[in-house]
Amino acid sequence: MSGLPSLTIAEARRALRAGEIGAIELTEACLAAAEASAPLNAFSALTADKARYQATLAAARLKEGDAPDLCGIPLGIKDLFCVEDEPARAASRILEGFRPPYESTVTRKLWEAGAICLGKLNMDEFAMGSSTESSAYGPAISPWRRQGDPAPLTPGGSSGGSAAAVAADLCLGATGTDTGGSIRQPAAFAGIVGVKPTYGRCSRWGIIAFASSLDQAGPMTRTVRDAAIMLRAMAGHDPKDSTSSPAPVPDFEAALVGDMRGKRIGIPKEYRVAGMPAEIEALWHQGADWLRAAGAEIVEISLPHTRYALPAYYVIAPAEASSNLARYDGVRYGHRAKIGANEGITAMYERTRAEGFGPEVRRRVMIGTYVLSAGYYDAYYLRAQKVRTLIRRDFETAFAEGIDAILTPATPSAAFGIGEMADADPVQMYLNDVFTVTVNLAGLPGAAVPAGLDGRGLPLGLQVIGRPWDEAGMLDVAFALERASGFAAKPEKWW
Amino acid sequence: MSIDKETARRVAHLARIEVAEAELAPLATELSGILGFMEELNEVDVEGVEPMTSVTPMKLPWRADEVTDGGYPDKVLENAPDARAGFFTVPKVVE
């Protein structure tokens, strides 16, 4: 049955439990689809042996009737997550050959819930990018194309391999991470659902760090229900991550009702950015109309510090990255440069990092180093952290006035072509994050939901921003949008 | 704030990233462009605003100071580019 990899997680869960399909059969079908997907460059490594082993365990659990929600469900894992004894390179040359002898908490929880690891997924190097073009593996390619145009498009980034794999039906769901929009932007570009939970909902332990105060793991799936199922398995307190929350994890799936009566949905006026394509503006209005029709009250709100979010982010994230990436020194793991007989350890460090990091990572590490250096710390870093307080306060004020969730576009455009941004200056690429980055700065949950196609047949997404720890309410709004839009478009297979 | 070539050289060294002499001037221009974008933050009135230290209002948890993991030096060293006799080895540091 060739249609198995296109099942939703919820459909596969039912069919597996009913014995209509087997975990081994489903895993083999996904492995075959992944093996035949080389032109997409979505997977950086397949973990077929692990997948087949896990599938036999899942089959046994299903037979015994002890099958958690994800039992027998094949998933793809972003290369940023450590999976024991499998390559984990963060799509960087500097981690060439690295095989972690430990498991990230999020993936451990997924395997304990019976999920199956198909392989590692392509991404921007160290999650720094919006297109996967900074990957040491070469870019992932979107399964989507503009109508009548075979030019390769980006699946977005940094979790672009995850988005491409889910959209192309290579796996049933995938993990992503989101520091400034890295789950939500690729989800929107690829016509799938992507959820960035509240900061602290998922453990960061064993996930290669980019900017620790912003990084969160989350699910990327084909439906809101699937995201709810997967998030529940990924979330929860972990003593190994002191910022992970001890708050209980609710049953997110049970919250999906779609009844918006009594809900107040905020439309932030500052998100009407100059030069926003009319199609995005129209989709945003459409989204508000759908929620109104489902019973919600739509309220215009103000988040006055929105326009300072991107510059604040591009101080804070590189600063934290420069600190986190200091560990790649050619001593404990990964690449080490060769040095001359008369050179010492400093030359070894400097050449290792010059050879191992790509241009965008080098740029951000140096910017981060500069803004933290003596004499500039107050002017840049401290000021950015104060602006961050103001950005969070904007949201707190809106929520205190009774707003339940906020509706915005997910991205300022549909997917762009590979290489189209090559001549743009770095700041142009950073503008991709304009609607998503505030959510990371404020630690809030955000979800991207596919809502329509643009004039050239490419997916466009809406974003729902929730109150802190209210992923359940946020997902219910996303569910209402999903139901109203009836989005069912799929890319035509060309690979 | 614009970065000159000497500042670029100093930042690259602080970041321990080797940059060839000929690349320093373009690097300075590029970094200056990014910093220019950050200057927008100067428009914000931050008088009396506390800098954010934790995005969720939570107290950092305490734990007992106990050894809970370890005892496998081979695993710790297995990814090292050069490990000998139970140690990470590096080029000579002290003459």
Cβ contacts from A onto B, under 8 A: 165
For an interface test with B, give the residue of A387, A395, A427, A430 to mutate (most B CBs within 10 A).
A387
Task: Give pLDDT, residue A2.
Answer: 52
Q: Active-site residues of A: which are they?
A: 78, 158, 182
* φ, ψ at A460 (rounded to 5°): -130, 145
Is B79 in Cβ contact with A333 (below 8 Å)? Answer: yes
Query: Is the CB of B67 inside 8 Å of chain A's CB atoms?
Result: no
Backbone phi and psi for residue A464, each to the nearest 5 degrees, phi listed first: -110, 125
- Chain A residues within an 8 Å CB radius of B75: 101
Rounded Cα distance, B44 and B55, in Å: 20
Chain centre to alpha carbon of residue A412: 17
Contacts of B19 in chain A (CB under 8 A): 354
Closest CA to A218 of A241, A195, A249: A195
pLDDT, tens digit, 9 for 90 and up, residues B46-55: 999 999 988 8
C-beta atoms of A345 and B81 within 8 A: no
Q: What tens digit of pLDDT does each residue of A16-60 get?
A: 999 999 999 999 999 999 999 999 999 999 999 999 999 999 999
**Which of B3, B12, B44 shows the shortest C-beta gap to A387?**
B44
Q: Within a 13 Å sphere around the CA of B64, how many CA atoms are in the beta-carbon half? A: 3
Q: Which of A242, A308, A362 sits opposite B61 (nearest CB)?
A: A242
- Provide the pLDDT for residue B56: 85
CB contacts, 8 Å: A310 with chain B: 37
What is the overall mean pLDDT for chain A?
A: 96
Local confidence band at B95 (pLDDT 50, 70, 90 cut-offs): low
Cβ contacts (< 8 Å) between A314 and chain B: which residues? 34, 37-38
**pLDDT tens digit sequence for B22-66:** 999 999 999 999 899 899 999 999 999 999 988 888 888 898 999
Shortest distance, CA A326 to any CA of chain B (angstroms): 8
pLDDT band at A102 (very low <50, low <70, confident <90, very high): very high
Return the pLDDT at A282: 96
Say what the pLDDT of residue A1 is. 39
Using a CB-CB cut-off of 8 Å, the residues of chain A touching B54 are 213, 243
pLDDT digits over A255-285, tens only? 999 999 999 999 999 999 888 889 999 999 9
| B16 in contact with chain A, both atoms CB, cutoff 8 A | yes
pLDDT > 90 in chain A, percent: 95
Q: Where are the domains of chain B?
A: 5-42
Condensed to tens digits (0 to 9), the pLDDT of residues A365-406 reads 999 999 999 889 999 999 999 999 999 999 999 999 999 999
What are the CA-CA distances from residue A476 to residues A79, A256, A430, A465, A485 (Å)? Answer: 30, 5, 30, 11, 14
Q: Which of A186-190, A312-316, A468-472, B54-58 has the lowest mean pLDDT?
A: B54-58
Q: B33 and A199: CB-CB below 8 Å?
A: no
Q: Cβ of B79 and A336 within 8 Å?
A: no
pLDDT digits (tens, 9 = 90+) for A104-150: 999 999 999 999 999 999 999 999 999 999 999 999 999 999 999 99
CA of B31 to nearest chain A CA: how many angstroms apart? Answer: 7
Positions of E strands within A245-286: 264-268
pLDDT in tens, A34-43: 999 999 999 9
Preferred mutation among A386, A431, A434, A471 to probe B, highest tally of B CBs within 10 A: A386
As a whole number, the mean pLDDT across chain B is 92
Say yes or no: B57 contacts chain A, CB-CB below 8 A. no
Is B63 within 8 Å of A239 when comparing Cβ atoms? yes
Where does residue B43 rank: exposed (0-12), middle (13-18), buried (19+ CB within 10 A)?
A: exposed
Residue of chain B whose Cα is closest to the Cα of A364: B31
Chain B residues touching A380 at Cβ < 8 A? 35, 38, 41
Residue A143 tokens read as 């399964």
Question: What is the β-pairing status of strands A116-121 and A74-78?
Answer: parallel
Sign of CA dihedral A193, A424, A435, A217: positive
Confidence category of residue B1, pLDDT binned at 50, 70, 90: low
CA atoms of A163 and A180, how far apart (whole Å): 16
Report, as an integer, the average pLDDT of A69-89: 98
